[in-house]
Structure 1
Amino acid sequence: MTIFNHLFLRSFALFAFVIAFALPAQDAAAQTTAFRQAVAEGASQDEVLAEFYRGREFEGIWTGATGRDRSRRNALLAAFANAGDHGLPAAQYDPNALMARLQ
């Protein structure tokens, strides 16, 4: 995987995570449909990513309420917290800023 693809996947992950929590309150079915549409559109630029989400029926991987979903969210936030350790611009992966936007 190239650096570009890696950065794209991380950026897309952030986008999907933020979209899942930032959508205004609305009918649950409409919100789910909007989220899945956003995921499908974002994933359409990368065949591997699109295939992954098609296999999940475009359901998010960090947005659910199960223990597994919470573990994934925690892992994502931990990865953001350590972005600078991987040579990524830490300001673009600030877990505190993300959590503040979600509340």
Structure 2
Amino acid sequence: MFVKFEEQDLLELFNSEGESLTGNKDDGQLLYASSILEFSLSIYIRTYEQQVSLFLKYKGKDIFYGDFKNVDEIKKVDNILRILSDEKHLANITFGEEFIIDVKDE
């Protein structure tokens, strides 16, 4: 199993391509990052381990961390990035004038 996602969708939301965590982009371990004012959002995707980690920082200090396992899909809907497991929402990240992270309790 692996995490399904469209690289083009992540490129549109993060305004940059993903970086390899290991130097080998084909191993499925990627980092996407974006900044708004003094906030920075990073998403680490470990495709073959079906794991996604989110980090939100303000002025370089961690203010949110979420680690999601058994992720089947990362899907872009308008300006929202949805993290899904068996079609259930684990979290939503809204991209706009600020980052809004909504973690689902299911």
* Shared fold (TM-score, shorter chain, > 0.5): no
The TM-score with structure 1 as length reference comes to 0.25
The TM-score with structure 2 as length reference comes to 0.25
The structure that is helix-richer by fraction is 1
